[in-house]
Structure 1
């Protein structure tokens, strides 16, 4: 098997594992934030925190060992636009509340027969493509050029290193501080400590992020045929999947497309084997409009923020990139606005 083919196979396998874990556990940042803020149930949010802690520790370990050149990823580029990234995150956060789930969650729910998710996924893909390469691309690039900066440091370890700390020590210190705080938050709750399923989901999904980096950045490393160094992400890959479905004879399979296909396959298989597969649709026209609006915000916002709640919330933050912290701050702020202000109004409209 050639190296690009192996990367595709592994991408599909990682996606399938995520589809299984996501469906069985209900892993989702939006659901976690909603439960934490409105139901005083922090188990899903703490599962996400555990996944992030594992992803950060594992990613920094393989980066420090020289197995993966993380600085080749989109998250650690020397120049970035903080306003554009934050605005994109804000839009994505609002959108995932209106659509009742993020991009990866919609893909997982589609696997169990939720036809609403088919509409959401399609709109996300189209909106992302329009923003990345279509009608909105010139405006996005113009804002990027006007607002981008080139700071001296683009990651937490680099920032710590500016105080005279060695690179290795700075990396270890950053991992201990950030991952340690996340683990402490996760296991400080008795209900979470008594939820083995949520703990397992956090551990597995965090390790999948690390495995994604190893797949594209180590196994797929080839100076003569370089592949994008990345891991789990779903906004741009959904756009690429839609494009591949339409123009496959002129395109090549990518890790992201294989990942999307794997998530769907894993979710379908799990739903069928566990008896959870059931067709569902919209309850009303306002319900559909709310989901379409949310999906459009997620597609455009995710393209502007260089990722989604998984792409930035786990994969981006695993690199400890400063732009990823900005994106996630926007996502959480958007989710807070959506859950506390927009969701109650939208729910009344649906009724």
Structure 2
């Protein structure tokens, strides 16, 4: 088996685990924020933060072991846009409230029989490619070029002058302390198992592409879990697969859908669901489009930046995640909140 085939099969396995865990546990940042802000229930939010801490500690352990160099990822930019990244995060965060979940959650719901998610994912993928290389790309590139900021450091350890392993231990310890401070969360295996499993899949992604995919002549691009560009790439692959090579991102996307489908059938939770009406459909289409455009601007989504990006300790990840939370706040309890009825 070649190194590229090994990466593809590893990606499928990672996707299967993500889809199954996401379907069984309801792992979702948007749901976590909504429950916390409107119901005072922080279990789903703590599950997400647990995944963040596990992803951070696991990924930095790979770095400390000399297995991967996360500085080679696209998150560690020395000259990011000070406007496009947080603004993209806001667009993504607001979009996921309109679509009732992020792109990763939409993949899981599609595997569970939710036909609404097919529309969300189609709009997300089309909008992402419009912003990446389509009609919106010139505007995005212009905005980024006009707001580029040369940073003295690319990541948090470099910015504060502390070794990466120590930064990861301190930050990860703080996150874990908050997560485990809730007796309700500790008594909810469904939530802490979801956070633990999905958090571990992030370093698994780095290992698959950075170690299994290493080759002196044809290296695989370093990547881990992220879903904006891969959803667009998946749509493209379905249409133009002849003569193209299956990659890590598309393989993960396919694995997520199949993993969620298998878990839904196993739990007898597979149910076909459609839109309640035209307004519901329009809201979901708009949400998908905003997530696609915003995710490209922010260099990732709630999984891509919130888990994979933050695991590299890149400064862009903190800015993007802050924007995503702010956008979600606008859509859930802020002045732009829309009734789901």
Give the TM interval when normalised to the shorter protein: over 0.9
Number of the residue aligned with 2:44: 44
Q: 1:10 to 1:120 in 2, by over 3 A?
A: same
| Aligned-pair CA distance for 1:345 | 3.0
Written as runs of structure 1 = structure 2, the 5 A alignment for 1:332-351 is 332-341=325-334, 345-347=338-340, 351=341
Q: How many residues align?
A: 341
Kept in 2: contact 1:109–1:117 (CA 8 A) = yes
Number of the residue aligned with 1:86: 86
| Aligned-pair CA distance for 1:148 | 1.2
Q: What CA deviation, in whole Å up to 9, does each residue of 1:59-117 have, x standing for no partner?
A: 11111222112111100122211210001000000000000000000000000100000
2-structure distance, mates of 1:103, 1:73: 21
Written as runs of structure 1 = structure 2, the 5 A alignment for 1:1-351 is 1-161=1-161, 165=162, 170-341=163-334, 345-347=338-340, 351=341
Q: What CA deviation, in whole Å up to 9, does each residue of 1:302-347 have, x standing for no partner?
A: 0111110000010000001000000000000000010013675332
1-structure distance, mates of 2:119, 2:147: 33
Kept in 2: contact 1:97–1:343 (CA 8 A) = no
| Aligned-pair CA distance for 1:252 | 1.0
5+ residue gaps, structure 1, are none
2-structure distance, mates of 1:287, 1:249: 36
Q: 1:58 to 1:175 in 2, by over 3 A?
A: same
Q: 1:94 to 1:344 in 2, by over 3 A?
A: closer
5+ residue gaps, structure 2, are none
Kept in 1: contact 2:88–2:295 (CA 8 A) = yes
| Aligned-pair CA distance for 1:142 | 1.0
| Aligned-pair CA distance for 1:272 | 0.9
Alignment TM-score, normalising by the size of structure 2: 0.98
Structure in which a larger fraction of residues adopt helix: 1
Q: What CA deviation, in whole Å up to 9, does each residue of 1:7-66 have, x standing for no partner?
A: 000000000000000000000000000001101110010011111101101111111222
Please list every run of at least 4 consecutive aligned residues from structure 1 whose deviation after the TM superposition is greater than 6 angstroms: none
Q: What CA deviation, in whole Å up to 9, does each residue of 1:208-251 have, x standing for no partner?
A: 00100000011101121121101000000001101111111132
Kept in 1: contact 2:331–2:338 (CA 8 A) = no
| Aligned-pair CA distance for 1:290 | 0.5
CA RMSD across the alignment: 1.1
| Aligned-pair CA distance for 1:277 | 0.3
- What SS does structure 2 have at the residue aligned with 1:200? helix
2-structure distance, mates of 1:281, 1:342: 28
| Aligned-pair CA distance for 1:150 | 2.1
